[in-house]
Structure 1
Amino acid sequence: MLKLTQMQEEFRDAIGRLLEKSTDQPSTSSDTLDLLNEPCESTEDLEGLCSRLQDPAYRKKMIRYLSLQGGGSLGDAVRRMLRKIGSNSLWTEYSFKGRKGKLSFEGLPINDVIIRACNKCYPEAKCQEIEDMIAVTLKHAPHRGRTNNQASHQETLEKEA
């Protein structure tokens, strides 16, 4: 009986610690919904987001929110995260290193947030692999925009016919 009583007390203590820990964690409901109401449409919107990332609490919530986006692979996770952060038309203005007259994504604080979020989802992934996936996603952004516009134009033509 003494052993059962001791186990019961340990169990209650463990539950208490878990409840305390869960109240310290940011909730996934209202807090994360307020992070990104809609993707950034312009460089000014993205700069505003980057300035908000200077706050450590907001940065931590953003990392958690983006890591929850998931994906079947590292590349898919990066694409999902970038889609949540900004529109395709925004990403056409950026390249990872900032070459060919485009803005540099590498120096933005959101780059570090994406890398940390990917490391939470894929702990085995190296930083260089994540950066390569970001670079490839940004590289193909202009083509995705064109195919989406062409597809919607094609649907419009079909409806008119």
Structure 2
Amino acid sequence: MTAVPPQPPARTFGIRRSKPAIAALGCVGLVIVVLVGGSIGVLIWGHLKTARDIRYEVSGTVGHPTIFYQVDGDEKNGERREQTAGATLPWSMRFHTKLMISRAFVQAVRPATSSTGTMACTLWIDGKVVAHETAGAEDPIVSCAEPDR
């Protein structure tokens, strides 16, 4: 039987790793992930649950346009997309939503029988104008959308 010569100890570069130390390091890492992830979650949840007041306005001299408007994530209907055909100008719509994931949007389409006049739209969120556009006689559509956040 041949004897196995003694082997030199494994190189640890001066660091001794024990199972309790590795477990403690893993726990610290987990706590950091939970704290950071939880903080981000709280920020997102607070962002989602903030109520907003939204108002659309369309004005102009084009007769009776068709107006399309939406707010994705409306608290009452889940998703709200509607239209008003033959609207009398000036036209406005105001409502309240509790979901910040909403993206407000309004669009007016010139009636086919109108080739003159102007249209304008304004989008208000929480009392502030976030979008305003105008369209001349050559433009069949005017649109206002909430900017990307």
* TM-score, with structure 1 as normaliser: 0.36
Q: Which structure's residues are more often helix, by fraction?
A: 1
Return the index of the structure with the highest Cα Rg.
2
